[in-house]
């Protein structure tokens, strides 16, 4: 009896925790933006705290998680990132199961900027009645300065998100590589994965325990 054609055609490259993290961050960024814009600061606070817990989880999962989730899988020295970017103009195509060198750099950049955004939010205020959970630990002047930084970082996030969307569109329409489908299903076409490559999965229960610990840490520090 022949093997399942679906299993032959597609290979799992992303675990569920990475995919859920990705789309949860998208939703939380939208909620944080709209709640701040409309003045729903309590919603904005809890959205930011949830985002912070997810980012702490992702940092840990980047060390102990499934193979493509680990930073060591997609962090490359600058010369390799530049070489990869130059190669995009050519016909040759180097295959990566997870993030390519440019995508890995984008992921780390987004995590770093989002983490800074969430941390500055803890010390910010809205100039009226709302103060972040740690704002009283610093002077009003310092809190106001951090609030300004919080707003500036948001503009950087918007620029990075725009760049990310453009890159996804480039791979889809120019390179014929759909990056959205794998982040939804966890699977890539076998033709887009290095030959013989298989993912090394870590049990999702471990991810759940890490997430609970990350949420507990954020709750303990801020509530």
pLDDT at 111: 97
- Cβ neighbours, 10 Å, residue 88: 15
Whole-number Å distance between alpha carbons of 153 and 149: 6
In a domain? residue 3? no
By CB atoms closer than 10 A (0-12, 13-18, 19+), residue 128 is exposed
Position 6 pLDDT exceeds 50:
no
In a domain? residue 146? yes
In a domain? residue 73? yes
Start-to-end CA span in the chain (Å) = 59
pLDDT at 8: 64
Among candidate residues 68, 158, 40, 177, the one with its CA nearest the CA of residue 110: 158
Domains: count for the chain: 1
In a domain? residue 64? yes
pLDDT at 5: 45
pLDDT at 92: 66
In a domain? residue 124? yes
Over residues 148-157, the pLDDT tens digits come to 999 999 999 9
CA geometry: angle 195, 200, 204, nearest 5 deg: 140
Average pLDDT over residues 119-145: 92
pLDDT at 3: 47
In a domain? residue 185? yes
Question: Do residues 32 and 47 make contact, with C-beta atoms less than 8 angstroms apart?
Answer: yes
The domain containing residue 158 runs over which residues?
A: 32-222
**40-49, 105-114, 126-135, 214-223: the lowest-pLDDT one:** 126-135
**16-25, 93-102, 141-150: the lowest-pLDDT one:** 93-102
Position 90 pLDDT exceeds 90:
no
Position 2 pLDDT exceeds 50:
no
In a domain? residue 4? no
Position 4 pLDDT exceeds 80:
no
Average pLDDT over residues 212-216: 98
In a domain? residue 100? yes
**11-25, 115-129, 197-211: the lowest-pLDDT one:** 115-129
Position 126 pLDDT exceeds 90:
no
Structure tokens at 203: 């049990």
What is the number of alpha carbons within 13 Å of residue 210 lying toward its C-beta?
21
Higher local confidence (pLDDT), 60 or 87: 60
Position 129 pLDDT exceeds 90:
no
Over residues 38-55, the pLDDT tens digits come to 989 999 999 999 999 999
pLDDT at 119: 97
Model pTM above 0.75: yes
């Amino acid at each position: 009896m022949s093997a399942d054609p679906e299993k032959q055609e597609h290979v799992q490259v992303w675990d569920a925790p990475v995919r859920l993290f990705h789309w949860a961050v998208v939703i939380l960024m939208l909620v944080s933006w709209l709640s701040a814009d409309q003045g729903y600061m309590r919603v904005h606070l809890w959205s930011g705290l949830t985002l912070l817990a997810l980012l702490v989880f992702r940092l840990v999962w980047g060390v102990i998680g499934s193979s493509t989730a680990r930073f060591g899988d997609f962090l490359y020295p600058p010369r390799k990132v530049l070489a990869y970017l130059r190669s995009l103009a050519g016909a040759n195509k180097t295959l990566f199961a997870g993030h390519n060198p440019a995508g890995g750099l984008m992921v780390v950049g987004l995590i770093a900027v989002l983490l800074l955004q969430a941390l500055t939010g803890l010390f910010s205020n809205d100039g009226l009645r709302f103060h972040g959970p740690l704002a009283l630990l610093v002077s009003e002047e310092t809190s106001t300065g951090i609030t300004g930084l919080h707003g500036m970082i948001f503009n950087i996030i918007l620029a990075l998100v725009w760049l990310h969307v453009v890159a996804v569109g480039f791979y889809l329409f120019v390179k014929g590589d759909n990056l959205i489908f794998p982040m939804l299903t966890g699977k890539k076409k076998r033709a887009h994965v290095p030959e013989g490559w298989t993912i090394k999965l870590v049990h999702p229960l471990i991810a759940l325990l890490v997430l609970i610990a990350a949420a507990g840490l954020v709750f303990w520090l801020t509530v």
